[in-house]
Amino acid sequence: MLQACLNGSRDKGFHADTPFTPAELAFQAEAVVAAGASELHLHPRDTNGLETLDPAAVAAALAAIRARVPGVPVGLSTHADIPPGGRGRLEAVAAWTERPDYVSVNLVEEDAPEMIALALARGIGVEAGLWSVADAERFVKLPEAPKCLRILIEINEQDEAEALAAAAAIRTVLARASLDVPVLQHGYEASVWPLYRDALLRGLDSRIGLEDGRHLPGGDIAGGNAELIRTAFQMARVPPNIPPEAKPAAGL
């Protein structure tokens, strides 16, 4: 599965193609789905272009996207820095009148167990975001862990070797826990394409989009989300030239 992460906290200074409004998000959603994306991840914005969990803004974004690409799963972030921030996010999510198909919850955040429990209670799938071995160890101990939609291995390290090692260490914790939960692995900025190639090699899901980076594998700036997804989809159709005996197991 290839997920498109449309905007994150990026602004139009980062890339002119970064979508803010419901109309822009819906247009981008249609473009990336046409390019090969199976699912969407996004951060709704308020009228000033700032990230928000406000029920009205969430409902407007979801309605516009679902009208344009009906049936495509749509996920939102619950990152602690998104207003109202901190524990106020729990109240905002509890007040949503329109629910996304899933939300991402970062295990590094103090209230992650409560956010996971709240989302599941509301019938919203959970992507559990793991940035480190400590996050993974915390996650596997949660009673809700087996109920999550998927696990996100989210790597922030910028050195390629360090990024791949960090992902491998997280996967080792998950393998020991024997959780039957799908895994999506992705990088950030310099580690986007190395982690994507590694995910392909291991048969893991992944994501690509302006939230994670604006560069193509060769270093050029992409025209936008659709070009990033097209590039990733094309790469997925051309498997790396590695002998079968050299390929590692998917869990590690």
What is the C-alpha separation between 215 and 196, in angstroms, rounded?
13
Query: Mind listing the pLDDT tens digit for each residue in 30-43?
Result: 999 999 999 999 99
User: Taking the model in full, what pTM does it have?
Assistant: 0.91
Q: If you ran DSSP here, which 8-state letter would residue 191 be given?
A: G
How high does pLDDT run on average in the chain?
94
Query: Mind listing the pLDDT tens digit for each residue in 43-93?
Result: 999 999 999 999 999 999 999 999 999 999 999 999 999 999 988 999 999
What is the C-alpha separation between 151 and 115, in angstroms, rounded?
15
Closest CA to 149 of 129, 133, 174, 177: 129
pLDDT of residue 87: 87
Is 247 a residue whose pLDDT tops 50? no
What 3-state class would DSSP assign to 61?
Answer: helix
Token digits of residue 205 = 């899901």
Is 244 a residue whose pLDDT tops 50? no
Percent of the chain with pLDDT strictly greater than 70: 94
Confidence of residue 250 (pLDDT cuts 50, 70, 90): very low
pLDDT of residue 238: 61
**Domains, in order of start, for the chain:** 2-246 (3.20.20.70)
- If one counts every other C-beta atom within 10 angstroms of the C-beta of residue 114, the result is 14
H or E element: which one contains 125? strand 125-130
When comparing pLDDT for 206 and 248, which is higher? 206
H or E element: which one contains 104? strand 102-106
pLDDT of residue 237: 81
What type of residue is 150?
R
Query: Mind listing the pLDDT tens digit for each residue in 116-164?
Result: 999 999 999 999 999 999 999 999 999 999 999 999 999 999 999 999 9
Query: Residue ranges of the alpha helices (H) in the chain?
Result: 22-35, 55-68, 88-94, 112-121, 133-140, 160-177, 192-202, 225-236
pLDDT of residue 242: 46
Is 112 a residue whose pLDDT tops 90? yes
Angle of the 225-236 helix axis to the 192-202 helix axis, nearest 10: 40
pLDDT (average), residues 225-250: 70
Closest CA to 206 of 234, 239, 176, 183: 183
